[in-house]
Amino acid sequence: MARSDFGWRDLRDGSATMFLVLPPDRMGAYSRWLRLLVAQAVAELARAPQRSGAPPVLLLLDEFAALGRLEPVLQAAGLMAGLGLQLWPILQDLAQLRAAYGESAPTFLANAGLVQVGAPADLETATWLSRTLGNATVEYATATAGTSRPAGWLPLGSGGTSVSEGTATHLAARPLLTPDEAMRLPPHAQVLLRPGKAPALALKLRHFADPEFRGLPDG
**pLDDT reading at 29 higher than 80:** yes
CB atoms within 10 A of CB 201: 11
Instruction: Evaluate if residue 81 carries a pLDDT over 80.
Output: no
What's the predicted TM-score (pTM) here?
0.77
Q: Is 100 a member of any domain?
A: yes
Question: Is residue 218 predicted with pLDDT exceeding 60?
Answer: no
The answer to whether residue 121 sits within a structural domain is no
**Structural domain range at position 23:** 1-112
pLDDT above 70 for 164: yes
Lowest mean pLDDT among 70-79, 104-113, 194-203, 208-217: 208-217
Check pLDDT > 80 for residue 163. no
Rounded (5°) CA angle 181-182-188:
110
Number of domains in the chain: 1
In a domain, 76, yes or no: yes
Looking up residue 90, the CATH number of its domain turns out to be: 3.40.50.300
The residue with greater pLDDT, 53 or 87, is: 87
How far is it, in rounded angstroms, from Cα 91 to Cα 112? Answer: 14
Q: How much is the pLDDT for 156? A: 52
Q: Is 3 among the domain residues?
A: yes
Is 53 within a domain? yes
What is the rounded CA–CA span in Å between residue 28 and residue 22? Answer: 10
In one-letter notation, the amino acid at residue 118 is G
